[in-house]
């Protein structure tokens, strides 16, 4: 992948978050009053510093793991499996949130431009998610170029916007709003807590930076160097656009829309360009880059699930990266989770932000700590500098994590704080279970195979073609075949036994009058009887015929009891259950009885 | 069953319908104006006549079918299976409607007495339905006496109400409202159509009369005579109560509540007794008898479904009256359908009435026509009188059916008119399918069993205990056992083949590198290859190991692909699929890896 293609594909997540970063800061400061808006500037500055730290730290991640790191791998390798699992959990929580936040912000760009769409926010977001699901299920191998275009269009729009806006301010073309001037006194109510809350909200603009370090092998060689320079370019672009939008929104005196229907970015764009075609192009480019940002999660989640499943930290069905179905499970799971989030939080970015960055910063912290450990252990050339850089990164991201968790706790962060340990326990249990199964299954290659015989039970409901074929098949498998008949009355038994006698194919019929008015229990009891009589040296197999009809609705007309018998027998007894399919041919019968007379 | 017990149990459906009959007439007349209320009197008179005709007709049904008729049986026997199916369909539609109407009217008695419950109408109705479902799933064998009490209480309340009301009017204790006086001119807007609509609505009070004739064998002997006298008593009670309530509501100038939150019966009761404890007892008795009326459907529906399934007119799983599960299917189906109706029609009786009586009157008409045919065919002593009685019954109920269908068409009857032929086609298709299967399965008892061999395929994912046990079991069944291994790369194949060689248990391993990134297709192709090589004289059986974990959540961690392979193989190929269960023992493993370090 050449860097001109890698930049848009891998940084859509990071770049797109400028679409809501400034807005979230202003919304928090707005709880104090318009006069507090000015403090968005120092906060934005702090976030730019944070971006700088992260860029430098992650350049070192690229150096350390040129084969593509990923926080889960870095933490597992350097801190141990338990910390790796914690990282995995935080990423697992993060992926659906990224989808939900990006899609909701994308729809916000639409509702900003076309207010008529406001009543349809929730359906719009959920439809977008499932379009993503559908595209990803079909496979996106050749989609690189498609993704490149809108990202460059977005970057172009943003640079144009900032350029024209700054030019207007510099030339005095607009009246600079009072919000850009520092208040002479600290506004009443503007506590440190509020500032930290606003800072936490702004940190949502930092998410997505790690994507490049996860995908180093995809870069054109020399891949590590190309990845590093791409990361640097991303950092510069991100800083310019985020800083620019923040300054412009203060200069133009933008007030964020508390209903969340119109985005701050839309308000700024409208002030600078007017509501003309450039404005609409910008909104559409914003929507598109945000949708592609969501798409990066659809790429990342199945890969993470697969890696974690390989480490037995996630259900096995997600495991095979080669198997198309494993991937499908991952994509559909992500689609369901993010649709759920969008539904519960009414498809509004502002509602989702308090949950968003915890997972990101937890994984940042753990990945950096892992690297610190690695440098310390290896102590190669230049390890001290590297250790210091990642150490600072780890400490700073940890502090942000703490700030975020505390200041946003009541507005929603508690959900993530509660969910994380629960999920951690769950995947630990999963791992223990798989370990225990593996140790149970292990055998010595020299052990002989167990020697057993077999008894075959064929439940019969009468004498017809399917019964005959099943009995014949059973006789090829074992000399011990028993037919088992359940009746609800003695007359039925008598009739059946007589007919069986007449048929006489050398198979013993055991009849049973069900006292329980059910079929399954007598069968289980019969199996138990056979097991006890044969002193357990023989495996019991039950052959159940199953009709395979030609049309789907005909399935509802057959096999209900076979299906039930099968699942109960397997769950309760050590019995092999074989299903003998009988494909119905649908012979036409005389329709005499089916017409009105 | 003594008659004192049979009356309440079998007539709760019919008696309870007086709780809404008058109300529905007044609501229709109310579309013209209060002045039209008077015409409720002649309409009620017409309905009383109709009740008379039905009572006489159904006494003949009892005579003709002392073993318990039921419209479905009568129509099937005398008119042929197609007409029987039509009767069955109309009853099938009717049962959930009876439940919905009775339960909603019962809840209306509650909301009338306790207006605080009005916001909870829909949940209340649905909860009541599922309480009914639960009671019926547990079995109601000993519930006769419980049902008797509230019905007698309701009858007592009604007779008290009518007695006291008539006494008040007779003694001039109340001012008789103008609505009881015939208007001097016909009110503007009171067309014949409106009168017929009102009559149709009132016919809802007639439903349930057939119940006694369905249950003749349950009567104490001489059962037919006891049933006939019970039916007569029901007719008299029904006429007195329905007529009485209609007269009282006119005399007291009751206006029905258009919101449907307060019932006319409640308004009358309140006028006569005041809002004292007698009023509340009456409301509760009303609610109870209506709930028991719903219960009669829960008894009737599974029986009808079972009879129809025996005639192959309904899915087989409903068939076995002896099997507890068949009954459960019927009860739960009825619960789902009536909950759906209550939800869609907001739990309001008034919304459900336009759908209600079509099924009832269609089955009335068909049952009577069946009897006419029977009398004509048999021409026993007195057949002329009998034929005339049932002929009149058939004609009158058919006229009511037509009046109902036309006048209520737009308000909801169209749904039933559309649904009836659709269901009729559906069950006709069901019957044809079962007939065709039966003819396909029929064999001659002297035919020899087919002679075939067997090939057993064991898909393996590695070499472990389960694979060893499955291979050992396969070897007891057939000399032709093949292990089948699917890999995603050549190295995997190489590694596996080497290990297999070393293990060497006399079973050939076939390996396969999946180009499709899926497991199922290579397996199907392999089965096809074996089938073609062996020229189809041998049955192929695939043995799939399945883990049976100890805890439910662990199921999510296993068997996904086994389950999928099984269902695809069975649907596509003529292959026997056997599931070999392996019960996990959950050995504790060293927890070293699961703790934070």
Measured in angstroms, the CA of B42 and the nearest CA of chain A are apart by: 38
Q: Are A544 and A459 in contact (CB under 8 A)?
A: yes
What confidence score (pLDDT) does residue B101 get? 95
Measure in Å the smallest separation between the Cα of A463 and chain B Cα atoms: 8
In angstroms, rounded to a whole number, what is the distance separating the alpha carbons of residues A285 and A268?
A: 15
A-B CB pairs within 8 A amount to 241
- Tally of CA atoms within 13 A in the half-sphere of A13 that contains its CB: 25
For A428, nearest residue in chain B (alpha carbons): B594
pLDDT tens digits for A358-371? 999 999 999 999 99
Residue B411 DSSP one-character state: I
Lowest mean pLDDT among A57-71, A185-199, A465-479, B79-93: A57-71
Q: Comparing A360 with A67, which gets the higher pLDDT? A: A360
| Contact criterion met (CB < 8 Å) for B324 and A452 | no
* Cβ-defined contact of A518 to B323 (cutoff 8 Å): yes
- Interface test with chain B among A433, A474, A544, by most B beta carbons within 10 Å: A433
Alpha-carbon torsion, ordered A498, A502, A504, A509, to 10 deg: -10
Which of B502, B579, B588, B590 should one mutate to test binding to chain A, selecting the residue with the greatest count of A CBs within 10 A?
B579
* Over residues A69-84, mean pLDDT: 89
Helix axes B277-310, B3-16, angle to 10 degrees: 100
Closest CA of chain B from A247, distance in Å: 45
Q: Which of A317, A450, A570 sits opposite B560 (nearest CB)?
A: A317
Between A11 and A269, the higher pLDDT residue: A269
Interface test mutation site (partner A, options B456, B460, B477, max chain A beta carbons within 10 A): B477
Left if phi > 0, otherwise alpha if psi is -120 to 50, otherwise beta: which for A586?
Answer: left
CA of B93 vs chain A CAs: smallest distance (Å): 20
**pLDDT score for B129:** 95
**What integer pLDDT is reported at residue A588 of this predicted model?**
64
Residue A350 has pLDDT above 60, yes or no: yes
Cβ A544 vs Cβ A578: under 8 Å? yes
Interface test with A, best of B421, B470, B589 (most A CBs within 10 A): B589
Contact (CB<8Å) B499/A445: yes
Nearest CA-CA distance, residue B311 and chain A, Å = 11
* Token couple for B60: 């003949």
pLDDT number for residue B594: 59
Which residues, in sequence order, are bridge partners of residue B456? Answer: B481, B541
**Which chain B residue's Cα is nearest to A587?**
B436
Name every chain A residue with its beta carbon within 8 A of the beta carbon of B86: 596
Residues of B in contact with A435 (CB under 8 A): 589, 593
Model pLDDT, residue A590: 59
Which of A579, A583, A588 best tests the B interface by mutation, with the highest count of B CBs <10 A? A579
Give B79's contacts in chain A (Cβ within 8 Å). 597
> A222: cis peptide before it, omega within 30°?
yes
Interface test with A, best of B452, B463, B473, B538 (most A CBs within 10 A): B473
CA distance B565 to B577: 9
Integer-rounded Cα Rg, in Å, for chain A is 33
List, in sequence order, the alpha helices (H) in B252-345. Answer: 264-273, 277-310, 324-344
Q: Which residues of B touch A428 (CB under 8 A)?
A: 594
CA distance A71 to chain B (A): 17
Q: What is the rounded distance in angstroms from the CA atom of residue B41 to the CA atom of residue B46? A: 9
Q: Which stretch of A418-422, A548-552, B54-58, B338-342 has the lowest confidence by average pLDDT?
A: A548-552
Note the residue count of chain B. Answer: 597
DSSP secondary structure letters along A259-296? TSSS-HHHHHHHHHH-SSHHHHHHHHHHHHHHHHHHHH
Q: Are A560 and B452 inside 8 Å of each other by CB?
A: no
**CB neighbour class for B498 (10 Å; exposed up to 12, middle 13-18, buried from 19):** exposed
Chain A residues with CB-CB distance to B554 below 8 A: 433
Cβ contact A452–B472 (<8 Å): yes
Give the confidence band of A65 by pLDDT, cuts at 50, 70, 90: confident
* Percent of chain A at pLDDT exceeding 90: 51
- B474 → chain A, closest CA residue: A477
Asked if B450 and A472 come within 8 Å (Cβ–Cβ), the reply is yes
Q: In what order do the strands lie in the sheet with B508-513?
A: A508-513, A481-487, A453-460, A538-548, A576-583, B576-583, B538-548, B453-460, B481-487, B508-513
Look-up of token digits 């020697």: A451
Residue of A nearest to B466 (CA): A441
Chain B residues in contact with A498 (beta carbon < 8 A): none
> Cis omega (within 30 of 0) on the bond before B222?
yes
State the Cα–Cα distance between residues A201 and A198, nearest whole angstrom. Answer: 5
Mean pLDDT throughout A111-132? Answer: 93
- Mean pLDDT, consecutive 10-residue stretches, chain B (597 aa), reads 82 89 93 91 94 91 82 91 93 93 95 92 94 82 68 94 93 84 85 92 87 82 88 93 94 91 94 92 94 87 87 84 74 95 92 91 93 92 91 94 93 92 92 87 82 87 88 90 89 91 88 78 87 76 86 75 82 85 72 61
pLDDT of residue B185: 86
Interface contact flag, A323 B488, Cβ < 8 Å: yes
Alpha-carbon gap, residue A243 to A165, rounded angstroms: 13
The beta-carbon neighbor of A322 closest among B517, B566, B573 is: B517
Please answer yes or no on whether B577 and A576 come within 8 Å at the CB atom: no
pLDDT score of B323: 63
Residues of A in contact with B441 (CB under 8 A): 464-466
* Contact call for B468 and A475, based on CB within 8 A: no
Provide the shortest C-alpha distance from residue B72 to chain A (in Å).
15
Chain B residue with minimum CA distance to A588: B436
The rounded radius of gyration (Å) of the Cα atoms in chain B is 33
- pLDDT of res. B423: 94
Nearest-by-Cβ selection for A449 from B320, B471, B546: B471
Per-residue pLDDT reduced to its tens digit, A477-490: 998 899 999 887 88
Q: Are A564 and A458 in contact (CB under 8 A)?
A: no
Structure confidence by residue, pLDDT tens digits, A523-535: 888 888 888 876 6
Whether residue A442 and residue B465 make contact (CB cut-off 8 A), yes or no, is: yes
| Half-sphere exposure of residue B133: CA atoms within 13 angstroms, side-chain side | 19
What pLDDT is attached to residue B210? 83
Confidence at residue A113, expressed as pLDDT on a 0 to 100 scale: 93
| pLDDT of amino acid A278 | 93
ipTM of the complex: 0.76
pLDDT of residue B517: 66
Strands B481-487 and B508-513, by their bridges, are parallel
């Amino acid at each position: 992948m050449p860097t001109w293609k890698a930049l848009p594909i891998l940084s859509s997540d990071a770049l797109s978050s400028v679409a809501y970063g400034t807005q979230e800061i202003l919304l928090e400061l707005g709880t104090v009053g318009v006069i507090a808006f000015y403090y968005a500037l120092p906060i934005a500055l702090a976030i730019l510093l944070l971006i700088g730290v992260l860029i430098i730290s992650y350049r070192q991640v690229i150096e350390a793991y040129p084969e593509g790191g990923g926080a889960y791998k870095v933490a597992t390798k350097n801190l141990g499996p338990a910390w790796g699992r914690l990282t995995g959990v935080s990423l697992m929580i993060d992926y659906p949130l990224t989808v939900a936040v990006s899609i909701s912000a994308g729809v916000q760009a639409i509702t900003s431009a076309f207010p008529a769409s406001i009543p349809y926010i929730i359906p719009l977001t959920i439809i977008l998610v499932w379009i993503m699901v559908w595209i990803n299920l079909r496979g996106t191998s050749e989609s690189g170029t498609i993704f490149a275009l809108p990202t460059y269009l977005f970057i172009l729009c943003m640079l144009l916007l900032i350029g024209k806006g700054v030019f207007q301010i510099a030339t005095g073309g607009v009246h600079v709003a009072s919000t850009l001037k520092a208040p002479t006194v600290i506004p009443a109510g503007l506590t440190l807590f509020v500032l930290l809350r606003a800072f936490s909200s702004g940190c949502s603009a930092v998410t997505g930076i790690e994507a490049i370090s996860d995908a180093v092998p995809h870069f054109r060689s020399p891949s590590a160097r190309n990845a590093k320079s791409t990361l640097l370019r991303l950092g510069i672009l991100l800083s310019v656009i985020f800083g620019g939008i923040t300054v412009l929104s203060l200069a133009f005196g933008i007030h964020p829309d508390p209903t969340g229907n119109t985005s701050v970015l839309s308000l700024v764009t409208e002030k600078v360009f007017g509501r003309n075609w450039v404005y609409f192009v910008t909104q559409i480019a914003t929507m598109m880059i945000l949708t592609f940002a969501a798409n990066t999660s659809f790429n990342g989640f199945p890969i993470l699930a697969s890696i974690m499943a390989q480490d037995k930290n996630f259900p096995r069905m997600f495991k095979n990266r080669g198997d198309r179905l494993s991937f499908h499970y991952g994509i559909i799971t992500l689609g369901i989770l993010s649709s759920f989030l969008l539904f519960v939080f009414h498809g509004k970015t502002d509602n989702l932000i308090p949950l968003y960055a915890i997972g990101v910063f937890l994984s940042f912290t753990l990945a950096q700590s892992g690297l610190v450990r690695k440098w310390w252990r290896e102590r190669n050339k230049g390890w001290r500098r590297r250790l210091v850089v990642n150490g600072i990164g780890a400490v700073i991201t940890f502090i942000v994590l703490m700030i975020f968790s505390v200041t946003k706790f009541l507005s929603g962060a508690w959900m993530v704080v509660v969910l994380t340990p629960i999920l951690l326990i769950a995947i630990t249990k999963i791992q223990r279970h798989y370990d225990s199964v593996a140790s149970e299954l292990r055998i010595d290659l020299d052990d002989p195979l167990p020697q057993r015989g077999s008894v075959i039970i064929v439940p019969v409901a009468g004498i017809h073609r399917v019964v005959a074929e099943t009995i014949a098949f059973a006789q090829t498998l074992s000399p011990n075949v028993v037919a088992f008949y359940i009746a609800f009355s003695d007359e039925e038994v008598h009739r059946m036994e007589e007919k069986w006698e007449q048929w006489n194919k050398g198979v013993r019929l055991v009849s049973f009058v069900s006292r329980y008015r059910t079929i399954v229990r007598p069968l289980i009891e019969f199996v138990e009887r056979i097991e006890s009589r044969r002193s357990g040296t023989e495996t019991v197999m039950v052959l159940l015929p199953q009709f395979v009809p030609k049309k789907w609705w005909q399935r509802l007309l057959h096999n209900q009891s076979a299906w039930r018998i099968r699942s109960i027998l397997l769950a309760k007894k050590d019995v092999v259950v074989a299903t003998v399919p009988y494909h119905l041919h649908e012979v036409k019968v005389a329709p005499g009885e089916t017409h009105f007379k």
